[in-house]
Structure 1
Amino acid sequence: MKHYDFVVLGAGPAGRRAAIQAAKLGRSALVVDDRSKVGGVSVHTGTIPSKTLRETALNLSGWRERAFYGQGYRTRDKIEPGDLNQRIGKTFDYEVSVLEHQFARNGVETVNGRGSFIGANRIAIETDIDGKVTHDEVEASKMLISVGTRPHRPAHIPFNDHNVLDSDTFILKPRMPRSLTVVGAGVIGLEYATIFSALDIPITLIEPRERLLEFMDAEIVEHLVHSMRERGITLRLGCSLSHVHFSESGNPICQLADGRLIGSEMVLFAAGREGATSGLNLAACGLEADKRGRLEVDRKTFQTANPNIYAAGDVIGFPSLASTSMEQGRAVACHAFGNPIEADDQAPPYGVYAVPELSSVGMTENDAREAGISYECGIARFRETSRGHIMGLESGILKLICDRETRKLIGVHVIGEGASELVHIGQAVLNLGGTIDYFVENSFNYPTLAEGYKVAALDLWNRLEVRAARPEKPCEDSGSGESLSEGPQRSAA
């Protein structure tokens, strides 16, 4: 039986980063993944293909140019499924080749097979090559479970992988339905609903909760909801799905708990995911997953109840981001082999690649209120910046939240073009303990959307100065962000 220092189950962001880090520390590492290619959910059915689909849809539809050329503007008159699949396929091949090269360069071994526990430090691996099934066993000093998640598929939903699909089957071969009903307005559901809306496909979105994206700032989410309604997306919030049946023509019909019927050519069920742990035989190593297949870990070391077995990535739950999963994987390898790193207590950025994008870091207004922080907000609207006007942006805002007493930046929230890129400027200032004065006192390239940080900071500065000058008689705020006090003023340039 072959022995490794480190065996990783799952080749997604957490697994690959952990294996490579272990190899860099001079340890032997093996990655076992049951897919035909490395990359995990992120590369096969998650982050990479969905974001590639988004970019393809926006480019082919001419979405970004419609403010100038009209809502009827199209880059291509007719968009076929092959147009969507072509770019996804090219991106997939590139990502896989990069990962394979990284594994080879660092001496990490990989096996395409199904791994399961047969002991606290032993793994059975079943491989199927051209119909020939083989079984091997390996043992390891340390192990990492990073198998990711799979779509939640309730028994009462008639999935058929044709016109009632989950998010994995939906992205494998994306089509262009005449109409689409999306069940579940979490991150995945919102992304696909707004992407296909940009392709001018009628969308109905069903969500049992009254509010979308509860972990994000309410004002930012309000802008998203307004944008969706303006584009004709039908929102059925506070409504739960009772069941799905089919019309005489074979099209699915969703019946809501209140009796309403929603017909469409296709239904995408995107209401939750569960840990892909059912085939791991966790009992053999003394572990047990929760009812959604997720594992409990020490959030500082990522150790499970068995200290030699770690878990990281989506399989341990929130925040379930590729970026945080990578850092978790690196932390696992460092801790496992005597090079522990400090737990990252800095605020990570969140990104929702809907149309428009949303991204945030730090506290929301609600977080600040619950923490008892006296705070203030400043806003910059993309359409009021020169770069935004050049780009034809009609919507989008950048919002800063600061502590009124210390002027420290405590939250950054962005919705609009490039939000997931812009947020990193605020992330750096926030995590380094900076104040809004950084944005006021430093110059930004002009014209850029990043200049919105200065506009929002000046808005904040003026609000803070007005309140400080006359605390006994609060000034009525016109909403323009300007004040009568002395201080930095917005330049007409």
Structure 2
Amino acid sequence: MAVYNYDVVVIGTGPAGEGAAMNAAKNGKRVAVIEAQQQVGGNCTHKGTIPSKALRHSVKQIMQFNTHRMFRDIGEPRWFSFPKVLERSQRVIEKQVQLRTGFYARNRVDVFFGHARFVDPNTVEVRDSHGVEFLKAQKVVIATGSRPYRPADVNFEHPRIYCSDSILTLSHTPRSLIIYGAGVIGSEYASIFSGLGVKVDLIDNRDRLLSFLDDEISDALSYHLRNNGVLIRHNEEYEKVETVDQGVVLHLKSGKKLKADAFLWCNGRSGNTQDLGLEHIGLEPNSRGQLKVDDHYRTEVDHIYAVGDVIGWPSLASAAYDQGRSASSDFLEDEDFRFIDDVPTGIYTIPEISSIGKTERELTEAQIPYEVGQAFFKTLARAQITGETAGMLKILFHRETLEVLGIHCFGDQASEIVHIGQAIMHQKGEANTLKYFVNTTFNYPTMAEAYRVAAINGLNRVF
């Protein structure tokens, strides 16, 4: 029986675990990480963010090829199978694994592969096919991520029923697909499959898509999904999922019956806390498998921290990495600690969406006098050159002080464009006003120029 002593043990090598481990190692701590899969990177690299975004990029290229007038001079539109398109994402995964493996090696972080389980508050056992090892640590960070919620009454063993993890093993391209759950993941996959020519039914149990978004942006997403052939059904809940010859039938509580070649469940995620031995350390996850933490990412056991998807909101890879860094900053007593609560959304539908700050609805409810500046991509020279004219940049600002209150972007490169506004929102004084965008020279032609156009549009509404 091997026993190893460390300053810090991190369970999970996704963005949250990596952030915690790298920060601790760079500050001179002896660190070990534990990964349940055979390679580092966590679900983000192998089942979630990386493969789905690489898949999206490939589908977007196919859509451009099949619709661009110039390419029609070369040949007819082409059809690509889902497995063929998925091949590219595997190459990206391999590069990410190689990169991240190098991070741990260069920083002298020991990597253990196997299932982690607490023996006591300072000891974690790692079990694999070769045996058991025990890691003792002064600090432990739980960064085990999340998995798709899979209700017991849906048969996920059936070859035509998938969750957002298993869909990446799809070996054919269905002609029709029902997606149950119209959150971020469901909306992204609706974009991807409709882009491949699949007939998609998107089932939403709410009255609008992604209700946390600005209403205008949510409406734009609905329009573009429908324009690409997605049938969105709001305010619906499933009663049962029935498998039949050559298909799946979804029975809704409203009495509707929908049939498709395949079914994709995208409704909720659960924290990966099962069989982690939490009962041995006095921690109990909530009904969704998530752990409660304070504003320093400490669990109810002071020296044990939890970060990333396993604690719930915002369940974003970007936030998870920063949460991991912040958790280790706390036990390192580093002055750089910050609680991560100002996170931009990045939604990789086609076109993509990104936003930060307040929405119009929130500002109206708070009775804050605001105004709107808009730049429609169809008016920008760069968008006209690339052919990506669908979309807009929207700046919400205080009518009297001109302070920037919210940035909302829909369209090509939205998740890149939003960061300019994010940087300005964090400045002090006049640097955080609409005047910054008017008084700054932007490269031309660029998508960033949208800020100047939107700012002038907004000032014209005020003066």
TM-score range, shorter chain: over 0.9
Output aligned runs, 1:237-276, within 5 Å.
Answer: 237-247=234-244, 249-276=245-272
Residue 174 of structure 1 and its aligned partner are, at CA, apart by 5.9
Change (3 A) 1:87 1:194: same
Distance 1:18 1:250 in 2: 47
Q: Which amino acid aligns with 1:164?
A: I
Distance 1:145 1:226 in 2: 40
CA deviations 1:201-245 (Å, max 9, x no partner) are 111000111111121111111011111122221011111111111
Change (3 A) 1:235 1:73: farther
Distance 1:149 1:72 in 2: 47
Structure 1 equivalent of residue 63 of structure 2: 62
Residue 63 of structure 1 and its aligned partner are, at CA, apart by 2.8
Distance 1:427 1:321 in 2: 17
Q: Which amino acid aligns with 1:282?
A: L
Structure 1 equivalent of residue 314 of structure 2: 319
Q: Which amino acid aligns with 1:24?
A: K
Structure 1 equivalent of residue 413 of structure 2: 418
How many aligned residue pairs are there? 458
Distance 1:369 1:463 in 2: 17
Distance 2:65 2:96 in 1: 26
Residue 83 of structure 1 and its aligned partner are, at CA, apart by 2.0
Q: Does 1:13 align with 2:15?
A: yes
Name whichever of 109-118 and 443-452 sits farther off: 443-452
Change (3 A) 1:58 1:74: farther
SS of residue in 1 equivalent to 2:315: coil
> What RMSD over aligned residues (CA atoms) do the two structures have, in Å?
1.8
Poorly superposed stretches of 4+, deviation over 3 Å = 67-76, 172-175
SS of residue in 1 equivalent to 2:449: helix
Output aligned runs, 1:452-471, within 5 Å.
Answer: 452-465=450-463
Given that residues 346 and 431 in structure 1 are in contact (C-alpha distance below 8 angstroms), is that contact kept between their aligned partners in structure 2? no
Given that residues 84 and 174 in structure 1 are in contact (C-alpha distance below 8 angstroms), is that contact kept between their aligned partners in structure 2? no
Q: Does 1:395 align with 2:393?
A: no
Given that residues 331 and 340 in structure 1 are in contact (C-alpha distance below 8 angstroms), is that contact kept between their aligned partners in structure 2? no
Residue 68 of structure 1 and its aligned partner are, at CA, apart by 3.8
Structure 1 equivalent of residue 364 of structure 2: 369
Residue 313 of structure 1 and its aligned partner are, at CA, apart by 0.3
Change (3 A) 1:424 1:369: same
Change (3 A) 1:274 1:417: same
Given that residues 113 and 126 in structure 2 are in contact (C-alpha distance below 8 angstroms), is that contact kept between their aligned partners in structure 1? no
Distance 2:378 2:410 in 1: 12
Structure 2 equivalent of residue 26 of structure 1: 28
CA deviations 1:10-39 (Å, max 9, x no partner) are 110010111111111111111001101110
Structure 2 equivalent of residue 197 of structure 1: 194
Residue 156 of structure 1 and its aligned partner are, at CA, apart by 1.1
Structure 1 equivalent of residue 44 of structure 2: 42
Stretches of structure 1 lacking an aligned partner (at least 5 in a row): 466-493
Distance 2:371 2:75 in 1: 42
Residue 161 of structure 1 and its aligned partner are, at CA, apart by 5.2
Given that residues 308 and 321 in structure 2 are in contact (C-alpha distance below 8 angstroms), is that contact kept between their aligned partners in structure 1? yes
Change (3 A) 1:75 1:5: farther
Output aligned runs, 1:466-485, within 5 Å.
Answer: none
Residue 394 of structure 1 and its aligned partner are, at CA, apart by 4.0
TM-score (norm 2): 0.95
Residue 184 of structure 1 and its aligned partner are, at CA, apart by 0.2
Distance 2:75 2:412 in 1: 19
Structure 2 equivalent of residue 483 of structure 1: none
Change (3 A) 1:103 1:172: farther
Output aligned runs, 1:295-334, within 5 Å.
Answer: 295-299=291-295, 301-334=296-329
Residue 349 of structure 1 and its aligned partner are, at CA, apart by 1.1
Residue 340 of structure 1 and its aligned partner are, at CA, apart by 4.1
Structure 2 equivalent of residue 171 of structure 1: 168
Distance 2:440 2:65 in 1: 30
Given that residues 156 and 162 in structure 2 are in contact (C-alpha distance below 8 angstroms), is that contact kept between their aligned partners in structure 1? yes
Name whichever of 382-391 and 2-11 sits farther off: 382-391
Name whichever of 342-351 and 391-400 sits farther off: 342-351
Residue 140 of structure 1 and its aligned partner are, at CA, apart by 0.5
Change (3 A) 1:75 1:218: farther
Structure 2 equivalent of residue 451 of structure 1: 449
SS of residue in 2 equivalent to 1:32: strand
Structure 2 equivalent of residue 142 of structure 1: 139
Structure 2 equivalent of residue 106 of structure 1: 107
Residue 108 of structure 1 and its aligned partner are, at CA, apart by 0.4
Residue of structure 1 aligned with 2:438, choices 430, 437, 440:
440
Distance 1:69 1:214 in 2: 38
Residue 198 of structure 1 and its aligned partner are, at CA, apart by 1.0
Residue 342 of structure 1 and its aligned partner are, at CA, apart by 3.8
Distance 1:116 1:75 in 2: 56
Structure 2 equivalent of residue 339 of structure 1: 334
Residue 346 of structure 1 and its aligned partner are, at CA, apart by 6.7
SS of residue in 2 equivalent to 1:142: strand
Structure 2 equivalent of residue 292 of structure 1: 288
Residue 65 of structure 1 and its aligned partner are, at CA, apart by 6.6
Name whichever of 343-352 and 29-38 sits farther off: 343-352
Distance 1:136 1:421 in 2: 44
SS of residue in 2 equivalent to 1:450: coil
SS of residue in 2 equivalent to 1:153: coil
Residue of structure 1 aligned with 2:214, choices 214, 217, 224:
217
Residue 338 of structure 1 and its aligned partner are, at CA, apart by 2.4
Given that residues 356 and 408 in structure 2 are in contact (C-alpha distance below 8 angstroms), is that contact kept between their aligned partners in structure 1? yes
Distance 1:327 1:73 in 2: 46
Distance 1:168 1:217 in 2: 29
Residue 81 of structure 1 and its aligned partner are, at CA, apart by 3.6
Given that residues 382 and 452 in structure 1 are in contact (C-alpha distance below 8 angstroms), is that contact kept between their aligned partners in structure 2? yes
Given that residues 290 and 311 in structure 2 are in contact (C-alpha distance below 8 angstroms), is that contact kept between their aligned partners in structure 1? yes
Residue 166 of structure 1 and its aligned partner are, at CA, apart by 0.5
Q: Which amino acid aligns with 2:119?
A: I
CA deviations 1:84-138 (Å, max 9, x no partner) are 232111111100000000000000010110001111111111012xxxx401212
Given that residues 181 and 264 in structure 1 are in contact (C-alpha distance below 8 angstroms), is that contact kept between their aligned partners in structure 2? yes
Given that residues 63 and 198 in structure 1 are in contact (C-alpha distance below 8 angstroms), is that contact kept between their aligned partners in structure 2? no
State the percentage of identical aligned residues.
Answer: 37
Given that residues 166 and 270 in structure 1 are in contact (C-alpha distance below 8 angstroms), is that contact kept between their aligned partners in structure 2? yes
Q: Which amino acid aligns with 1:279?
A: D
Structure 2 equivalent of residue 350 of structure 1: 345
Q: Which amino acid aligns with 1:27?
A: K
Q: Which amino acid aligns with 1:169?
A: S
SS of residue in 1 equivalent to 2:100: helix
Structure 2 equivalent of residue 470 of structure 1: none
Change (3 A) 1:395 1:71: farther
Distance 1:437 1:74 in 2: 48
Given that residues 191 and 352 in structure 1 are in contact (C-alpha distance below 8 angstroms), is that contact kept between their aligned partners in structure 2? yes
Q: Does 1:85 align with 2:122?
A: no
Q: Which amino acid aligns with 2:286?
A: D
SS of residue in 2 equivalent to 1:401: strand
Distance 2:299 2:400 in 1: 41
